[in-house]
Each structure stands twice: as structure tokens, then as C-alpha cells.
Amino acid sequence: MMTDSTTDSAPDPAPGSSLADTEFVVRSMAQTAVDNEREFGDLDAVVGDGDFGYSLARGFEIVLADWNDFDRSNPAAFLQKVAMVIAGRVGGTSGPLWGTAFLRASGAVRGKDELTGGDVVAMLRSAVEGIKARGNSDLGDKTLLDSLVPATDALEAEVAAGTDAAASVARMAAVARSTADATTSMLAKRGRASYTGERSIGSPDPGAVAVAVMLERLSDEWAHR
């Protein structure tokens, strides 16, 4: 496993430092989406159309069903295939947003066989920028970005400190949960929830919660690999 050049003596904190690790992360995310379909849907139904959980679960079900057929020549090729499945098969706004996130993450590490902690941060930053552009959204709009961006900031700090993988993912999960919970008091400015105005205040954003639940599960599974 490669180490970041800024922390030569420390273990690489990247939770996606090889193809096997990348597969582990994506599979954990996919299973979380499938297992939490009802929870995510119920959250979305409060002020949205309620299809978020269903759409995400159906897309990631296909990812799991096609798992053995994905290109595994390198992490970027694998992520690109996952992106194509999600973008092409997930309904509503979730498909374009999550598909773009995976595609941008893939592009950030194209041609690399081993990834450093800095590479993983770059992947997440690229995913964030893709989501912003595709959804015309930003921090403070009450979207998944309000959980994903702080979690990415947390990972970047852990990478700089030379923290190991398990602790880094645990820190990301904790930050994602606190920031997802904080969206409860926010006014939705994007998506169907924005049409409800002040009624959107009082419940957390489903996408932000999904990011938190995925990272919490990943943290637990990473610690027991």
C-alpha cells in the first residue's frame, strides 16, 4: 500500500488506496443504499416526492447484480463503469447526480493503479464539483453536499495528519452525521423540497443522511475487515 509523500512514515489513510479497497467502498455504499431504501424514501416523502430511497436502491441493485462484469484494470476504469450504470439506470435526479459524482471521481485518478490519501481527497473534491455543476447547487442549499463536503474536509485533515484508514473513515462518518443532522434546521433551496418553502425546515435532507449512513456503515465494516 502506497503512502502519501507528505507522510512517508505513516500508513496511507486512503480508504480507496487500491482496486480492492475501491471495490470494498463501492460495495459497502451499494449495500447500504439497498438496505436503507425505506428509511431514505420516508425521509424524502416528508417534503419531496418520496422516490429517493427507491431510485437509489434500484440503481445500486443493478451495480451489485453486474458486479462481476465491471472493468477492473484499475480503480478509475472500475468507477467509470459504476458511474455508467448509476447514471443510466437510476431514476429522478439521483441518477445524474450520483452518476456524475462517480464519473468525476474516476477522472481524477485516471491511469493510476495505486492511490494515495491525497488521491482519494482529489476524487471526492472532483465528485463534489460535479454534483455542484450538475445540480446547480452549493453548500447551504440543503443537499447531500452539506454532508459530503465537510466529510471530505475531515478526510483531508486526517490525510495531512497521517491518520490510519480506519480512524480516517470513522472521523468522516462522525462529521457526516453531525452535518447531516444540521440540515434539519436549513431551508431547502434545490430540488422538489425547495418548492415547499419553510415547510422544508424541520427534517434532514435525505441525500445528506444517505452520505452519513453510508460512511457510518463503511466505518464499521472497515474496522472489521
225 — pLDDT class (breaks 50, 70, 90):
confident
Residue type, 131: I
Structure confidence at residue 197 (pLDDT): 55
Model confidence at 16, pLDDT cuts 50, 70, 90, reads: very low
The pLDDT confidence band at residue 194, using thresholds 50, 70 and 90, is low
Over the stretch 95-125, which tens digit does the pLDDT of each residue have?
899 999 999 999 999 999 999 999 999 999 9
Q: pLDDT-derived band of residue 192, with 50, 70 and 90 as boundaries?
A: low
Residues 6+ apart with CB under 8 A from 203: 43, 46, 47, 184
**Model confidence pLDDT, tens digit, residues 86-101:** 998 776 778 899 999 9
In 87-120, which positions are buried (b, 16+ CB within 10 angstroms) versus exposed (e)? bebbebbbbbbbbbbbbbbbbbbeeeebbbbbbb
196 pLDDT higher than 60: no
Residue 64 has pLDDT above 50, yes or no: yes
At 187 the pLDDT is 81
Calpha distance 50→218 (Å, rounded): 25
Residue 1: pLDDT band (50, 70, 90) is: very low
* Nearest residue to 75 (alpha-carbon basis) of 10, 14, 144: 14
**Domains assigned to the chain:** 19-223 (1.25.40.340)
Supply the DSSP symbol for 188: P
Instruction: Tell me: pLDDT of 17 over 90.
Output: no
Q: Assess whether pLDDT exceeds 60 at residue 9.
A: no
At residue 47, the pLDDT reads: 75
pLDDT in tens, 117-170: 999 999 999 999 999 999 999 999 999 999 999 999 999 999 999 999 999 999
Supply the pLDDT for residue 191: 66
Mean pLDDT of the chain: 88
